Amino acid sequence: MPITMAASRENRHFLRRTVRHLTQLGVRQFLDIGAGLPSAGNVHEIAPEARVVYVDNDPVVIAHAEVLMAGGDGGQVRVIQGDVRDPNAILEDPQVIEHLDFGQPIGLLMVGLLHFVRDQEGAHQAVASCVSALAPGSYLVISHGTLDGFDPQKVAGVRSVYEHAMSYQMRTRAQIDRFFTGLELIEPGLVPITDWHPDGISEGVSGQEIGILGGLGRVPLPSAA
Ligand SMILES: C[S@@+](CC[C@H](N)C(=O)[O-])C[C@H]1O[C@@H](n2cnc3c(N)ncnc32)[C@H](O)[C@@H]1O
């Protein structure tokens, strides 16, 4: 799939646009699960004023992240090893508790993560557990691979590669939408990532080709009634 590189970069553009959007809404803390290597264009660079905790279950990612972060972030960033399939361990991690204020809005990022967690591993329960820990006015950002509308031959190609590499589950739009249960989906909703508030910086590929849907949901504020 030659489009994979462009798709990864578009996913980073989506991350950048959503984090920037959240900072404009006043969010000053981010919990980035499945963060990957904190390289150029990551959350702490897009939102330098914010407190950020990066979480990943890959020890190699963590080792690199700790070196990259050493001393250069003004104390705003923490990096921990954690697995989204054990959300309580993340939420109860001393570094998470010390660094983030769960009484204030948090941007919970699960960008390019959840297709690596199958239903039988508790994907939806894990997201619900994390969301339930967030204060009203917090946000959940998801981007997720989908095979909806994809060329069947490409689908077979993706399947055969991943089946030999790692656990994964592509989901339909409806299945991805379910992750936002109880949240208010922010306009434009769950859309191909290239269509989420585009800002002119793109890899020149269509959302349909990439096959990643993305969206932003808000934890509702208590009703005034
Ligand atoms: C495709 S990368 C996405 C990186 C980054 N969020 C982005 O959008 O560019 C997925 C990351 O999720 C991590 N990951 C996969 N399964 C995970 C799990 N169960 N818990 C935590 N992280 C996981 C991988 O190690 C990898 O770094």
Residue 225 lies in a domain: no
Containing domain of residue 81, as a range? 4-218
The span from the CA of 18 to the CA of 10, in Å, is 12
**Residue owning the nearest CA to atom 16 of ligand 1:** 116
Residue 83 lies in a domain: yes
- The predicted pLDDT at position 22 comes to 98
Check pocket membership of 12 for ligand 1, CB cut-off 6 A: yes
CATH number of the domain within which 138 lies: 3.40.50.150
Residue 214 lies in a domain: yes
225 residues of the chain, pLDDT tens digit each: 778 888 899 999 999 999 999 999 999 999 999 999 866 788 999 999 999 999 999 999 999 888 887 766 678 999 999 999 999 999 999 999 999 999 999 999 999 999 999 999 999 999 999 999 999 999 999 999 998 877 767 777 777 777 777 788 999 999 999 999 999 999 999 999 999 999 988 888 888 788 999 999 999 998 855
For ligand 1, mutation pick of 10, 113, 203 (most atoms within 8 Å of CB): 113
- Whether omega before 105 lies within 30 degrees of 0, making that bond cis, reads no
Closest atom of ligand 1 to CA, residue 110 = 6
For ligand 1, mutation pick of 60, 116, 203 (most atoms within 8 Å of CB): 116
Residue 182 lies in a domain: yes
Residue 78 lies in a domain: yes
Whether 143 contacts 180, CB under 8 Å: no
Check pocket membership of 214 for ligand 1, CB cut-off 6 A: no
- The predicted pLDDT at position 39 comes to 67
Closest atom of ligand 1 to CA, residue 143 = 8
Domain count, the chain: 1
Q: Residue 33 forms beta bridges with which residues?
A: 55
- The predicted pLDDT at position 67 comes to 85
Whether 32 contacts 26, CB under 8 Å: no
If you measure from the C-alpha of residue 214 to the centroid of ligand 1, how many angstroms do you get, rounded to a whole number? 15
Residue 39 lies in a domain: yes
23, 46, 44: which is closest to 99 by C-alpha?
44
Q: What is the largest CA-CA distance in the chain?
A: 53
Residue 223 lies in a domain: no
Check pocket membership of 116 for ligand 1, CB cut-off 6 A: yes
Residue 118 lies in a domain: yes
Check pocket membership of 131 for ligand 1, CB cut-off 6 A: no
